[in-house]
Amino acid sequence: MSFVPSSEVHESNQRVERKCIYTTLEKIAKFKTFSEGIARQVRPALSSAMDMEERGGGNQNMERTAALEAALKVWGGAGGDMDDIPVVGDKLSKESDLDFAARGKVDDQEEIPDYTSGAPVADEGLVTAMPVQDDVFTSPAEVAKLVNLDDKQPFTQTKNFKIFAVSAICFAVIVAVVVPLAVIRPWEDTEGTDSPTGAPTSPPTTTKFKAVGEVINTELDEAVGDLIKSSGTESSGSPFTSYTSTDEAQERARNWIINEDPLGLNGDSANLVQRYALATFYFATGGDTHWYDCSRNATVTDCNVDEQKTRFLSGENECNWFGVTCEKDDDDDVVNQIDLAYNDLNGTLPIEIGLLKSLSQLILVGNYLTGTIPESIGQLNDLTQLQMGENYFNGTLPDSLYQIQSLEVISFYYNELSGTVPERIGDMRNLKGFWMYNNGLSGQLPDTIGRLSFLTYFVISNNYFTGTIPPTFWKLNKLEYIDIGTNDLSDWVFPESFASTSIDNFQSPGNYLQGTIPDYFYDLKQLTTVRVQGNSLTGTISTKINQLTKLESIDTSYNLLNGTLPETLSELPKLKNVILRGNEFTGEIPASYANLNVTDKLFLHYNEFLTGDVHLNLCEKTVTIIVDCLVGTDSINVSVSCSCCAYCCNAVDESCEEQ
């Protein structure tokens, strides 16, 4: 292919035109570093042609045309030979000093524009420079034709317009080629080859770092934005804008991921979101300043708890961090458990906890966490255990919590929660444990609680619940542990029956419980603990109590129970505590009590009409015995004799003295 210049264009204009074309081709060659052959051959050819252009005049036009012809043949894959390129001085060689440092070889060469088909190279208006076939090339003067449309030459046909048009076309071509190539960052190793051992130059490194950071922030913005949207959290604007987060924990986590993380993730890393969520959790809970074990600061905390684990924010995979457990999800390791109980966590639970979609157990018992439970917790659809007891959480339980169908254990005992238990709790069909004692919950328990067919542990003591326990509750047949004590329940009595015969722990102290202890109660063969103190129970304790062979502790103190003490109590082999104080028992202490197996406490005091002796055998087995063996201020003789009691009391004035 040959290049035919216009005969009507001044030599300087030709120089502008050709330099434009040479420069454009040179830019293309410079950025398309994927082709070693083009890089080695086109640049030297262009260099030679450019040199001829500068010298100008005489036979240089022909030499220049031949140089460009050879360069275009090489570029277009037309089979040009390097030996056909005219050499000017010693400037052209088989491998020029201007060759690129990068020499990665690619098998499939990208398609290159073909200038052999007659497409115009530059449009001059009335005069057009066209590529033509070699066999028709004669000379510039014989090929170019001048066409006059009017005696008065329009501006578009003037020399100035031609220079302007050529310059504009060249600028447009350069922008169209260079900008897209710059966007795809050609300095990156797209073939996955090893990076150069030498330090990269500053501009590419800075640009690449910024680009990676922007990609990571974009990915995290999208993940957190979806989380906020799906959990229904109100948000004005995005509080997670790149590098400008107002939340210190999120900002520090992003900075660590982008700038400090030895693992060096990028926007395509499968574990980017979960690693960020854990880093945010670390900073939000005082990881650097409060954690007892395994913070990232080795000078502050030890990390000898588990030899299989590393410190938080180490360069290893986050699945190896202390307190974190993972499982396989296809080919990825996903976090399914966090257990950082009693590790002195301080701060709040960040909403990013909802990004750990595969989390099944979140155990943060015994820390110093404050604030509210984020609504994003409801996004953990695989969560089975949420154990957050012994913290300082306040506010209400989020509504989203009740939509987690997989939840089996909700544990928030010893916190500062308020609010009511909604009817939606009935939708949590897999719920087995509801541990909410020592909070500020109130209102009446909903009837829907009777839908929890798997409910086993129901512990709501020391709250402000009112009304009565719904009848549907007593129909649950898997109940084992019931503690409803110290609430503001209305006067109530035992139900007609318990559907569950597996109850091993029944506690309802200080709860306005009235009536008598029903006979079916003595059929609960699994009972180990009975605590009904501080109520208004009447009647007696049946001799059927010997059927409760697993009973370890019974406390009926401060009721209105009467009659004699059951002799069969001595037949229970596992008793540790018998607390019957503050009732109206009468008669003598049964002689069989010499064989009581009580190993901890025997409290029989404040029963004014109880008489008898405490046998020495009992003194040898029981740690603390208290009876009414103290002479009162009225000088009435003591009703009970005890030589080994820890305290002697007087039932009349309710005073006690250590013995």
**Residue 458 in tokens:** 């129901």
pLDDT at 33: 42
pLDDT at 72 over 80: no
CA distance 271 to 266: 10
Classify strands 2-4 and 128-132 as parallel, antiparallel or unpaired: antiparallel
- What single-letter DSSP state applies at residue 260? I
Give the pLDDT score at 423. 96
Give the other-Cβ count within 10 Å of 137's Cβ: 17
Distances (CA, A) of 251 to 133, 226, 229: 64, 18, 20
pLDDT at 590: 94
Residue 330 CB partners (closer than 8 Å, separation 6+) = none
Looking at 184-271, list the stretches that DSSP marks H as alpha helix, in order from N- to C-terminal side: 202-231, 248-255
Measure the CA–CA gap between 551 and 504, rounded to whole angstroms.
9
Look at residue 340 in the predicted model and tell me its pLDDT.
97
- Would you kindly state where each structural domain of the chain is located, as residue ranges? 2-183, 201-382
Provide the pLDDT for residue 217: 81
Q: Are 452 and 429 in contact (CB under 8 A)?
A: yes
Segment of 91-100, 132-141, 424-433, 612-621 carrying the highest mean pLDDT: 424-433
CA distance to 26, 583, 588, per residue, from 541 (Å): 103, 11, 15
Let me know: does 513 contact 535? Beta carbons within 8 Å: yes
pLDDT of residue 31: 47
**SS3 state of residue 326:** strand
* Whether the Cβ atoms of residue 52 and residue 202 lie closer than 8 Å to each other: no
- Assign 163 a pLDDT band (cuts: 50, 70, 90): low
The predicted pLDDT at position 160 comes to 61
Task: Give me the pLDDT at residue 633, please.
Answer: 60
Q: At what angle do helices 159-183 and 11-31 cross, to 10 degrees?
A: 10
Q: How confident is the model at residue 449 (pLDDT cuts 50, 70, 90)?
A: very high
Q: Dihedral angle at the C-alpha atoms of 622, 627, 630, 632, nearest 10 degrees?
A: 160
Q: Residue 365: CB partners within 8 Å, gap ≥ 6?
A: 341, 342, 387, 388, 389, 390, 391, 411
Compute CA distances 460 → 77, 224, 490, 504, whole Å. Answer: 82, 35, 16, 17
Phi/psi at 569 (5° precision)? -60, -30
Which 8-state DSSP code applies to residue 372? P
Name the region of 56 (left: φ>0; alpha: ψ -120 to 50; beta: rest): left
Q: How far apart are CA 575 and CA 550, in angstroms?
A: 8
The residue assigned the tokens 């922008």 is 175
Q: Please say whether the beta carbons of 423 and 399 come within 8 A.
A: no
Tokens, residue 267: 């926007």
Q: Does residue 529 or residue 36 have the better pLDDT?
A: 529
How does residue 197 score in pLDDT terms, banded at 50, 70 and 90?
Answer: very low
Contacts of 535 (CB under 8 A, 6+ apart): 508, 509, 510, 511, 512, 513, 514, 558, 559
Residue type, 563: G
**The pLDDT of residue 155:** 53
380-404 burial, b at 16+ Cβ within 10 Å, e below that, comes to bebbbbbbbbbbebeeebbebbbeb
562: phi then psi, degrees, rounded to nearest 5: -140, -170
Spatial separation of the C-alpha atoms in residues 602 and 625, rounded to whole Å: 5
What is the pLDDT at residue 108?
42
Instruction: Report strand pairing: 433-435 vs 346-348.
Output: unpaired
pLDDT in tens, 142-155: 433 333 434 445 55
Helix axes 36-55, 11-31, angle to 10 degrees: 160
**Under CATH, to which class is 201-382 assigned?**
alpha beta
Report pLDDT for 302.
87
Q: Which residue has the higher pLDDT, 358 or 39?
A: 358
DSSP annotation of 116 reads S
User: How far does Cα 341 stand from its chain's mean position?
Assistant: 17
Which of the residue ranges 32-36, 268-272, 327-331, 528-532 has the most confident prediction, judged by mean pLDDT? 528-532
What average pLDDT does this structure show over 197-221? 56
Q: Is the pLDDT at 540 greater than 80, yes or no?
A: yes
What lies within 8 Å, CB to CB, of 659 at 6+ separation is 645, 646, 647, 648
Q: In 3D, which of 207, 315, 200 has the Cα closest to residue 256?
A: 315
Is the model's pLDDT at 293 over the cut of 70? yes
Length of the chain: 659
| Alpha helix (H) residue ranges in 313-400 | none
**Element housing 69 (H / E):** helix 60-76
Convert 178-187 to b/e letters by CB count within 10 Å (16 or more is b).
Answer: eeebeeeeeb
Query: Cα(162)–Cα(10) distance, rounded to whole angstroms?
Result: 11
H helices within 368-522, ranges in order? none
Q: What is the pLDDT of residues 510-523, one digit of tens each?
A: 999 999 999 999 99
Query: How is residue 302 written in tokens?
Result: 């030890």
- Mean pLDDT over 96-116 rounds to 38
pLDDT tier, 495 (very low <50, low <70, confident <90, very high otherwise): very high
Could you tell me the pLDDT band of residue 115, with boundaries at 50, 70 and 90? Answer: very low
C-alpha to C-alpha distance for 46 and 25, rounded to whole angstroms: 8
* pLDDT tens per residue, range 459-469: 999 999 999 99
Q: Please state the φ and ψ torsions of residue 119, each to the nearest 5 degrees.
A: -70, 140
Residue with tokens 């953990």: 380
| DSSP line for 144-206 | -----S-SSPPGGGSHHHHHHHHHHHHHHHHHHHHHHHHHT-TTS-TT-PPPPSSPPPHHHHH
Return the pLDDT at 26.
54
H/E segment holding residue 40: helix 36-55
- Supply the mean pLDDT for the chain: 77
How confident is the model over 357-409, as pLDDT tens digits? 999 999 999 999 999 999 999 999 999 999 999 999 999 999 999 999 999 99
> Angle at Cα 185 formed by Cα 181 and Cα 188, nearest 5°?
135
Is 70 exceeded by the pLDDT of residue 233? no
**Please, are residues 45 and 71 in contact by the beta-carbon 8 Å criterion?**
yes
Q: Residue 604's Cα: distance from chain center in Å?
A: 55
Name which residue leads in pLDDT, 200 or 13: 13
pLDDT at 541 over 90: yes
SS3 61: helix
Query: What phi, psi does 49 have (nearest 5°)?
Result: -65, -40
One-letter amino acid at 505 equals N
